[in-house]
Structure 1
Amino acid sequence: MGLDLSRVTRSSPYWPVISHTTLRRILPGFAVSALGDGMAVVAVSWLAIELAPTADRGIWVALAAAAYTLSGAVGALVLGRFLRHRGPTQLTGWDAALRAVALGAIPVLHAFGALGIEWYVVLLAVSSVLHSWGQAGVYTLIARVLPERDHLAGNAVLSGVGSIATVVGPPLATLLIVIGGPATVLAVDAMTFLVLAVTFLVAVPKDAVPEPEDDAASRTAGFAVIRRIPALSGLLALSFAFFFLFGPVYVALPLYVSDDLDAPAGVLAAFYMAFGIGAVLGSVLTGFLSRWRLWPTTVGIVIGFGALMLPLGLDAPTAVSVVCFGVAGLLWPPYSSLSTTLFQRSAPSALLPQALAASSAVRVLSVPLGTALGGPLVAGLGAVGALRLSGAGIALVGVIAAAALTLRAARTRPEPEAGAAEAEAATEVDARP
């Protein structure tokens, strides 16, 4: 009996996503932009290494990596009064347009010999001012155009596109770096964001995304929603710790490759490509996790991720470290998609952009804070020591969250006669690490 690929495809949890009229319009532009970002992962730090004074490279690499994301948290906090009533397509389109302009200025200045490390960091910061709102716009669109049962699959598709780009992007970036230098990579990245801006601002009809009936929201409504719902405040605390402790990797790993291993950019690309391959597989698997209990799965991912980071901190052979980093990548998309799904299910529809922007702000803030810490950590502990501290810290946070989750579940467990379904609901909604 032959395999009916059409039937298999239509029975997949991803079919409602890829067959949706509106999502079919945005996914190609999103994929092009993700590819550009996949290349920028290598180029941002490598250009900083080239521009920075040798004695202060660790600090400047940390500042460049942090600047590429940190101002997104500031934008989420201070621009709410101007953006809270904007539709999700506008939020994402404006974010993409700003990134295209700011990132495009980097290769132009570099070509004229006018790009110093200070201006480089400034332009990276400008490019990310609207990024929290842009991310909120994408996931708000997913939540509004798809029924709740398909939210996890929709999030997984976006995560999967980004993961594929992480696999393809680094080797392309390495090739472009050899041919024209890292500034050339950022020029290509700017063009991909221009494609994304046109996709959201022109290609998506204005009536394609339904608006909630109640659109009354204050600038701080997102944080208010998070504070009112223990599951969301607990999730945000867990995410902050997870991403904060991963932040030093963005500094330690490039310097570990360039200094400790004395290796070229291709080895750094191999680490990121392995992570991306794992992430692609993780994205495919994520859509099939809808029947799993969300909280235990999310916490278990954090513990496993930290454990898989430890070989890098123990100075294991490069091949072993690359493989473990790749397996850690397998866990990244499920965490992102599951945590976003919890927000989409718990926050009121009218306040979802604000809640997601607030969540993105905290997460975006955590990574550059951790990245900024990476400079002093590398200076004090060395790249290997910083990687070891990162992996052990992530695993410890996961263990603490698992213990807190178990205690919370025990306190909220209903009487036996209430039934298993109510017990599950109590654990999922009220659990707080």
Structure 2
Amino acid sequence: MAGLLLGDLLANVGTGMIIVAMPVQTLSLHGGVPKAIAIGLVEAAPFALSTVLALAIGLGRVRVPPRTLLVADCVLRSLTFATLGVLSVTGTLTLPVLFTGLLFGATFRLAGSSSRRLLATSAAGEAGRFSVNGLLGLNTTFALYIAGPVLGGLVVATAGAGYALFFDAGGALILLAATLLSVPRDTGSRDALREPKTSGWRILRRRPVAARLLVVEFFFNFLYMPIEVALPLYVSGTLHAGASGLGLLWGALGAGAFVGAALVGRLRNLPQRPLLVAIIGLWALCPIALAVVGDLPAALVVFALGGLVYAPFTPVAYSFLQSGLAPGEQQQVVTLWTTGATVAAPLGLALGGPLIELTGTTGGLVLSGVLTLLLLPIAARAVLGRTQEREPTCASA
């Protein structure tokens, strides 16, 4: 488990560098395509085919061992980003090629992401599940939003966006090596293959609160995604900063999220459902405040506070979901949950491009926050309104 978590951490650093590099790379290639539309298309590409595969696992009867899915994801991702990196540094990369590469290169992205969690939590057992989910959240926040963006900003500013693509390919290779060395071949696969092949949605229907929470999380993520389209334009336009400023802003989000993730253990005795609803409401204030401030230091403070309040959401939500599931039900339900939460990304990004073009950068940020605030009473009614199901605390999960 330690080897897998280390591989996950280092792989996420490479992915965090892409958060900064990809918008910069896209803006250098967009040609006659409007900037916001181009960013939205490129950011959405990795989710299309990966969503189809993940839904086949979560809703259908496709069963592939998690270790196999994770290995496939690492191999394909490393080859894709190495190729895109070579094309970029040689000046032959185009926007259609970048879009196509991300579309096919991320086929196993969602299935691989859920497989990481399944392999780690199955190694920890039921008693260690909440702690491992917290560690995975800590990995993600530190790597994706602190180390990765800061390093990505430095690489983009000094060498160019194309060189950051090689780091993501290298991170995938590190995770591949960690998986092959640390995870036995049958880990996470015996129960998934021997249990009756029941769809993830049918299992979730036995826990209606978890099913409703999945719907809430879908819209929560959907309303967040226009921020990712607006942020590069906000940094270059409103804040008058470059790639390093974008890296610092993501780093500030990660710094706050790192503190929030590190404090997840102190939330063990709190009821999970009210905590999740409160996080949605507090996060909604972040993009609204971001639209109001006009200088980089203030924006860094706002984004850091946003990361602080958002960080506990994922580990608490997954611990709530996984409690009460049999081992053979984990893969399809966790994959379905990951897909349902993540499929909001391409849809939100597809909407985010035209939305930012129509309302402007600050207008799009405000609209994202306001719509998330309007989601709050719906979330409270969906998650808190029916209490027939026993309410677990973080500790009991």
1:90 matches 2:68? yes
Residue by residue over 1:304-348, the C-alpha shift from the partner in whole angstroms, topping out at 9 and shown as x without a partner, is 111222112334543322211111111232101011112211333
Using structure 2 for the length normalisation, give the TM-score: 0.92
User: Measured at CA, do residues 217 and 103 of structure 1 come closer, stay the same or move farther in structure 2, by a change above 3 Å?
Assistant: farther
User: Offset of 1:244 from its aligned partner?
Assistant: 0.1
Unaligned runs of 5+ in 1: 1-22, 413-424
Residue by residue over 1:337-392, the C-alpha shift from the partner in whole angstroms, topping out at 9 and shown as x without a partner, is 01111221133321211111111111221012111111111111001011101112
- 1:108 partner letter: V
**Aligned residue in 2 for 1:179:** 158
**Aligned residue in 1 for 2:236:** 258
User: Measured at CA, do residues 29 and 224 of structure 1 come closer, stay the same or move farther in structure 2, by a change above 3 Å?
Assistant: same
Q: Which is greater in Rg?
A: 1
**Aligned residue in 2 for 1:141:** 119
**Aligned residue in 2 for 1:74:** 52
**Aligned residue in 1 for 2:142:** 164
**Aligned residue in 2 for 1:224:** 202
**What's the C-alpha RMSD, in Å, of the aligned pairs?**
2.3
**Aligned residue in 1 for 2:99:** 121
Q: Is the contact between residue 119 and residue 187 of structure 2 (CA under 8 Å) also seen in structure 1?
A: no
Give the alignment of 1:404-423 within 5 angstroms.
Answer: 404-409=382-387, 412=388
Structure 1 or 2: more helix by fraction: 1
**Aligned residue in 1 for 2:259:** 281
Q: Is the contact between residue 70 and residue 364 of structure 1 (CA under 8 Å) also seen in structure 2?
A: no
Please state whether the residue corresponding to 1:261 is helix, strand or coil: coil
Residue by residue over 1:99-151, the C-alpha shift from the partner in whole angstroms, topping out at 9 and shown as x without a partner, is 11111110122234331101101111222211111122122123322232321
Among 111, 123, 130, the residue aligned to 1:152: 130
Structure with the bigger RCO (C-alpha within 8 Å, sep 6+) is 2
Among 167, 176, 191, the residue aligned to 1:197: 176
- 1:255 partner letter: L
Q: Which moved more, 1:342-351 or 1:204-213?
A: 204-213
Q: Is the contact between residue 163 and residue 280 of structure 1 (CA under 8 Å) also seen in structure 2?
A: yes
Using the alignment, how far apart are the partners of 2:117 and 2:225 within structure 1?
23
- 2:288 partner letter: L
User: Measured at CA, do residues 366 and 282 of structure 1 come closer, stay the same or move farther in structure 2, by a change above 3 Å?
Assistant: same
Q: Is the contact between residue 215 and residue 351 of structure 1 (CA under 8 Å) also seen in structure 2?
A: no
User: Offset of 1:46 from its aligned partner?
Assistant: 1.2
1:372 matches 2:336? no
User: Measured at CA, do residues 28 and 241 of structure 1 come closer, stay the same or move farther in structure 2, by a change above 3 Å?
Assistant: same
Using structure 1 for the length normalisation, give the TM-score: 0.85
Q: Is the contact between residue 145 and residue 210 of structure 1 (CA under 8 Å) also seen in structure 2?
A: no
Q: How many aligned residue pairs are there?
A: 392
User: Offset of 1:81 from its aligned partner?
Assistant: 10
1:267 matches 2:231? no
User: Offset of 1:207 from its aligned partner?
Assistant: 5.0
Using the alignment, how far apart are the partners of 2:298 and 2:238 within structure 1?
16
Residue by residue over 1:17-36, the C-alpha shift from the partner in whole angstroms, topping out at 9 and shown as x without a partner, is xxxxxx12212211110111
User: Measured at CA, do residues 34 and 167 of structure 1 come closer, stay the same or move farther in structure 2, by a change above 3 Å?
Assistant: same
Give the alignment of 1:6-405 within 5 angstroms.
Answer: 23-53=1-31, 56-78=34-56, 84-165=62-143, 166-206=145-185, 211-212=190-191, 215-218=194-197, 221-405=199-383
**Aligned residue in 2 for 1:15:** none
What percent identity do the matched residue pairs reach? 28
User: Offset of 1:178 from its aligned partner?
Assistant: 2.3
Using the alignment, how far apart are the partners of 1:217 and 1:317 within structure 2?
56
Please state whether the residue corresponding to 1:426 is helix, strand or coil: coil
Please state whether the residue corresponding to 1:228 is helix, strand or coil: coil
Among 387, 390, 394, the residue aligned to 1:426: 390
